[in-house]
Amino acid sequence: MTMLVVKCYSIILFFLIISVYVSSAKPSSNHKNIKAPCKRFVLYYHDILFNGTDAANATSAAAANATLLGNFSFGQLVVFDDPMTKDNHLLSPPVARAQGFYFYDMKSTYNAWFAYTLIFNSSEHRGTINIMGADMMMEKTRDLSVVGGTGDFFLTRGIATFTTDTLQGFYYFRLKMDIKLYECY
Ligand SMILES: *[C@@H]1O[C@H](CO)[C@@H](O)[C@H](O)[C@H]1NC(C)=O
Ligand SMILES: *[C@@H]1O[C@H](CO)[C@@H](O)[C@H](O)[C@H]1NC(C)=O
Ligand SMILES: *[C@@H]1O[C@H](CO)[C@@H](O)[C@H](O)[C@H]1NC(C)=O
Ligand SMILES: *[C@@H]1O[C@H](CO)[C@@H](O)[C@H](O)[C@H]1NC(C)=O
Ligand SMILES: *[C@@H]1O[C@H](CO)[C@@H](O)[C@H](O)[C@H]1NC(C)=O
């Protein structure tokens, strides 16, 4: 009899632990009261860092040099005006531009901090979306905050999930940005 009770308790405890674990492992969509995104789209960000001779094609440039702190470009500031495309082809027609900067801010690994505006000026969308946050480059996906918007994206907020789509040396990388907006007006 007592064995059965103990067994029951341990089974209940087991499921309790599992459910707590599962709920804490779930992404932000598990937050209370959060609805599905009111708008969601995927765009690709192409960054071609100026190497001193490719001015015609470069879309970004180091505006401040890296420091000697660590081996991961700590302190380097890159300003960009990058094309955003609907698929991952660099030469696809851009649907928006990403204008802003990132800088490297960890001495023990590559880690960057982004702040930029997506500027839309097409028949499809007109307006801006402002995004900022940490790009922990060693993580498979990274969530940055959508902190506001204008025009078609008036007062929006949400999450932009980054995935590194390709990394070709130091001078070209492409990010997949899965943009989920939770406030639309
Ligand atoms: C810069 O990039 C261009 C285009 O990829 C390449 O042709 C050129 O040789 C590069 N210059 C240097 C200094 O690496
Ligand atoms: C640079 O841009 C020009 C003009 O768009 C293009 O012909 C050339 O192939 C590009 N070079 C590289 C290395 O992408
Ligand atoms: C940045 O540092 C590199 C290596 O020390 C140097 O070659 C380059 O000229 C510096 N660039 C600027 C803009 O100071
Ligand atoms: C940076 O790399 C060099 C050569 O690989 C190494 O000797 C040095 O200790 C590294 N510095 C740091 C801060 O890790
Ligand atoms: C947006 O596009 C229109 C039409 O192509 C153009 O007249 C206008 O100058 C553009 N505005 C900006 C800020 O690029």
DSSP 22-53: HHHHS-GGGSTT----SEEEEEEEEEEB--SS
Q: Which residues line ligand 4 (CB under 6 A)?
A: 70-71
| Ligand 1 near 53 CB (within 6 A) | yes
Topology of domain 36-181 in CATH is AOC barrel-like (2.40.480)
Whole-number pLDDT of residue 118: 98
- What is the model's pLDDT at position 9? 53
The C-alpha atoms of residue 26 and residue 23 are separated, in whole angstroms, by 5
Looking at residue 29, its pLDDT comes to 55
Residue identifier of the C-alpha nearest atom 9 of ligand 1: 53
- Reduced to 3 DSSP states, what percent helix, strand and coil does the chain have, rounded to the nearest 5? 15, 45, 40
Q: Whose CA is nearest to atom 2 of ligand 2?
A: 57
* CA 175 vs CA 36, 93, 122: distances in Å: 23, 16, 22
Shortest-distance Cα residue to atom 6 of ligand 1? 54
Q: What is the reported pLDDT for 14? A: 46
Ligand 2 geometric centre to CA of 56 (Å): 7
pLDDT at 10: 53
Ligand 5 centroid vs 124 CA: distance in angstroms?
13
Give pLDDT tens digits along the chain (185 positions): 455 444 545 544 444 444 444 333 345 556 777 789 999 999 999 999 999 999 999 999 999 999 999 999 999 999 999 999 999 999 999 999 999 999 999 999 999 999 999 999 999 999 999 999 999 999 999 999 999 999 999 999 999 999 999 999 889 999 999 999 999 99
Return d(Cα 44, Cα 160) in angstroms, integer: 12
| Pair 120, 152: CB distance under 8 Å | yes
Q: According to the model, what pLDDT value does residue 45 have?
A: 98
Return all residues near 99 (Cβ < 8 A) that are at least 6 apart: 80, 81, 82, 116, 117, 119
Q: What is the DSSP letter of 60?
A: E
The predicted pLDDT at position 169 comes to 85
pLDDT at residue 103 in the model: 98
Mutate-to-test residue for ligand 4 from 71, 106, 107, 108, highest number of ligand atoms within 8 A of CB: 71
pLDDT given for residue 58 in this prediction: 97
The residue ranges of every structural domain in the chain are 36-181
